[in-house]
Each structure stands twice: as structure tokens, then as C-alpha cells.
Amino acid sequence: MNNNKKTDYPSPLRAWSMVLILMCAYILSFVDRQILSLLVEPIRRDLLLNDTQISLLMGLAFAVFYTLCGLPLGRAADSRSRRGLIALGILVWSAATAFCGLAKNYWHFLIGRIGVGAGEAALNPAAYSLIADSFPDDRRATAMSVYAMGVYLGSGVAYMLGALIIKFASAQGDLVLPLLGEIRHWQLIFIILGALGVAFTLTLLAIKEPVRRGVGAGVAVPVKDVARYLRSNRSTIVLHNFGFALLMLVGYGMGAWAPTFFIRTYGWTPTEVGMIYGTIVLVFGCIGVVAGGRLADYLRKRGHRDASMRVGFVAALLGIPCAFAPLSPTAEIAAALQIPAVLFMSMPIGVAAASLQEIMPNSMRGQAIALYSLIASLIGLGLGPTAVALITDYGFADPLAVRYSMVIVSVLGLSFGALLLGRGLVHFRKTHEDLASWRPPVTAPLDIGTAPLTPNLAEKHH
């Protein structure tokens, strides 16, 4: 079925209920992903690690398998039950999170983080595809930005929840649990989060898969034709993916090391960092990501076909002055300057994915998101935290110099990201125009949803 009338979309109640559930899944994934950044010091102490090893756990170990699994899972999202795919992913990453809580050494923790990355790779391709088929063009960026709020809600909750648990657990001392024996307070956090994730999969029963719509909907496109489409639009894809990836590098790098920066530079406690920085991330990250989506929809209504990509370009330019926040003379000034920094860095999160949905045929959307996630994760999540750590460990050879490492990575990442996105605007407009004339190859239509990924959660598409 290929129908784009607004009246044929799911009701607003059903569509926004689905976005809310998907956003909660995204929150859960980012809590599991980001909680490590608040627990750097106790984990370093107990497992005898340095900053570079910690950064590999925060970034590269997660990102490599997140990206390796992303491409096949993205293709699955274009043809299989998207709801079932998400459920399977949540079960995998939740079990892996709990395994991190049982880690006795670096290699145990590394295996757990690999599992978290592999499981979370299932979420975004399927979630963005579901949202794209549930909202008309002039509302899609806002809907995707609301979903993307999960990044900042999850990160903020991770900091705040971690701070509260650390405060409570530190007062109680180490715990002794049946079967597990004595465990540290940071281990308990991972175990609890894993259990919550397993329970959350039941909420996915409330999601009903929307009809796939748009150019190429319901048509199985061979991998060679997907590759041909990407090659014919390579300037747009390369400049988009690498431009936004550099913004992700800054976001992940600063988010990973900001708590440690406040602890080392200003002597804050983990509880203080978690509550203050966590509140900033939660509130202003959410405002920024929704503002980015609303701005893109507004510009699109005003006739700007490159609206989503343009928002990323503007956000990068506005973020450059904020990159110098870590050089502030006091903790209060540094914290205050995090407000505009988080605001501007959150604006591209939702529009990066929304812009891809606008230039890709329906049957390639999941794969396009997976390809973008591969690049953004390897550069952003894989290199962001590690770039800061390498400069600190081997450039300055001083843990207290983390503030200078953060500034260097931020300024370079934002500057080059703005350059790529700015150059990509004209290519994006051309690809957007050419999509209207694209026709899928002659092949058998997809029987969407007939190959369920999980017996109870996969739903046949009628």
C-alpha cells in the first residue's frame, strides 16, 4: 500500500502513544548506556583501570558491535515485524546490562558492553521506521524529535538515578545478595537496570504496526539496488552522515567526561554531579531536541526542503562558543554554561534521522538509519569518549587536564561538522527532488510481518 493522505495515518492518540512507548524504550537504552559515565571512579578503583580503558568501555566496545549488528537489523526493520525486533533487542541489551553488574574484571565488563551494543542496535532502525509511517511529512520531524528526547531523558535519569543510588548504597556499604554474594553498589545499579528492561518488553504489546507507506513501500529491494541508490546520492549521504557524526562525537565525548570533569576540577561529589548536571541534561536536552524538530517543521512549511539538515548546521555553529565552558574559573559558571551547550548539541538529534526519512524510499529507511548509526556510532560514540581520554592520558599526561581535552575535541568536532553540513545542503535538496521520480525495481512485494522475530510480540500485517 502506498497512500500518503493524512486521513490514512493512525489516529493521533494511537500514533503519539506509540511514540511515548518507543521514547521510554530509548530512555531505558540510554540509562543502560550512560550510567557508566557517573560510575567511572568506583569502577576504575575496583577493576584497576585507567581512563583509556574506561573510555573503551563507554565508547568503542559498545559502538563496534552496535554498528556491526545495525546493518542486518536495519534491513530486518524494512521487512520484518518492527515491534518484535525491538522486543528482542531490549531483552538482549537488558541481559547484557545485568551481566555488567556481575563483572569481576575488565574482560567481563567488556563482554557485557558488547552485548549492550548488539541489543541496542535493534531499536533505532525499527523505531524511526514505525514513526515515519505514522505521521505525515509536516509533523514527522517533531514526532521523531519527541522520540529522540529519550537520549536526554535517559542520560539525565542515568545521572540523577545513579547519584541517588550511590548516595544510598554508600551509606549502606556493600550488599550481600542470595546466590550472588557480596556486591558493590555500582554492580547493584547494573543488575537492577537489567531487570527493569526485561519487564519493560511487555509494554510493546500496546504497539500496533502502521501500514508501510511512501515511495517504494511494500516492495522488496535487493541489497544491490540499495547500494546503487546510495551511490547515486553519495554526496548527500556522505556529507549528512559524517557531518552529523561529528556533532555526535562532541555530544558523546562531553557527556561521557562531564561528570568526571566536575569531580576532578571542582571537587564535586558524584551525587552533586548527578543531580545538577543530570537536571541540566534532562531539562535542556529535551527542550533542545524538541525545539530542533519544531524548527525543522516550521522551516519546511516555509518552503525549505533542506530544513532538517539546516537545523543541524545552525546548531553546530551556535555550539562552538559553548565548547569553551570547561575553562570556566568556577564550578557555578561551568554548570551555567552547560545549559546552552546541552541545548544546542541536542537540537540535531531528532532532525538527523528525520532528514534521512525524507530522502530515502520506504523500503530503504531502516537500512539508511542503520548505515547512519554505524558511522555516527563509530565516530561519535566510538571515538568521542576515547579522543578525550587519549589527549588526557598521552597528550597532557595529567588527569586534571581533562578540561582542555574536552575543549579541543569540541571545537574541532563542531567546526568540521558545520563545514560538512553546510556543504551538504545543496546536495540534500537535489536528492529530495529526485526521490519523487525514483521507481523501485520490479520484484515481489513484501509480505510484511509474516516472519516474526518473537512468537508473542510479532504481529502479522494486514
Q: Please, what is the angle between helix 51-58 and helix 12-38, to 10°?
A: 170
- Indicate the pLDDT class of residue 322, thresholds 50, 70 and 90: very high
pLDDT greater than 60 at residue 356: yes
Given a contact cutoff of 8 angstroms between Cβ atoms, the answer to whether 274 and 259 are in contact is yes
% the chain with pLDDT above 70: 88
CATH class for the region spanning 6-435: mainly alpha
More confidently predicted of 400 and 211 = 400
394 vs 177, higher pLDDT:
394
The region of weakest confidence among 39-48, 339-348, 434-443 is 434-443
Please give the residue that has the higher pLDDT: either 450 or 76: 76
The average pLDDT across 284-311 equals: 90
Q: What is the mean pLDDT of residues 259-267?
A: 92
Q: Which residue ranges make up each domain of the chain?
A: 6-435
CA geometry: angle 225, 83, 114, nearest 5 deg? 80
DSSP, residue by residue, 311-379? HHHHHHHHHHHHTTGGG-SSHHHHHHHHHHHHHHHHTHHHHHHHHHHHHS-GGGHHHHHHHHHHHHIII
Q: For residue 164, count CB atoms less than 10 angstroms from its CB and return exposed for 0-12, middle for 13-18, buried for 19 or more.
A: middle
**What is d(CA 424, CA 238) in angstroms, rounded to the nearest whole number?**
9
Burial (CB count within 10 angstroms: exposed 0-12, middle 13-18, buried 19+), residue 172: exposed
Record the cell numbers describing residue 373, joined without a space.
548509526
Which helix (H) or strand (E) covers residue 294, if one does?
helix 270-301
Q: Residue 59 has what pLDDT?
A: 73
pLDDT for the residue numbered 138: 77
Compute the distance between CA of residue 371 and CA of residue 78 in angstroms, rounded to an integer.
13
Is pLDDT of 107 > 50?
yes
**pLDDT for residue 214:** 62
Over residues 399-427, mean pLDDT: 96
CA 328 to chain centre: 28
DSSP H helices, 173-269, are 185-200, 223-232, 234-266
| In the predicted structure, residue 198 carries a pLDDT above the cut 60 | yes
With residue 177 as reference, give the H or E element that holds it: strand 175-177
Question: What is the pTM for the complete model shown?
Answer: 0.74
Contact 27, 148 (CB under 8 A): no
Contact between 293 and 146 under an 8 Å Cβ cutoff? The reply is yes
Mean pLDDT, residues 300-315 taken together:
91
At 185, which amino acid appears? Answer: H
The three cell numbers locating residue 227: 547500494
- Cα–Cα dist 199/95, whole Å: 11
pLDDT score of 459: 38
Residue 453 pLDDT grade (very low, low, confident, very high; cuts 50, 70, 90): very low
Distance CA 71, CA 372 (A): 10
How far is it, in rounded angstroms, from Cα 129 to Cα 132?
A: 5
CA distance 362 to 364: 5
174 DSSP assignment: S
* Cβ–Cβ < 8 Å for 289, 149: yes
Average pLDDT, whole number, for the chain?
84
Question: At 201, is the pLDDT very low, low, confident or very high (cuts 50, 70, 90)?
Answer: very high
Cβ neighbour number for residue 158 with a 10 Å cutoff: 29
Query: Where does the pLDDT of residue 460 fall: very low under 50, low under 70, confident under 90, or very high at 90 and above?
Result: very low
pLDDT tens column, 229-251 = 889 999 999 999 999 999 999 99
Which helix (H) or strand (E) is 273 found in, with range?
A: helix 270-301
Q: Per-residue pLDDT for 6 more than 70? A: no
pLDDT at 395: 92
Please count the CA atoms within 13 angstroms of the CA of 347 that sit on its side-chain side.
25
In the chain, the percentage of residues whose pLDDT exceeds 90 is 39
Mean pLDDT score, 430-453: 62
**Band of pLDDT at residue 456, cut at 50, 70 and 90:** very low
Residues 6+ apart with CB under 8 A from 309: 240, 351, 355, 421, 424, 425, 428
Rounded CA-CA distance 248/243 in Å is 9
- pLDDT exceeds cutoff 70 at 130: yes
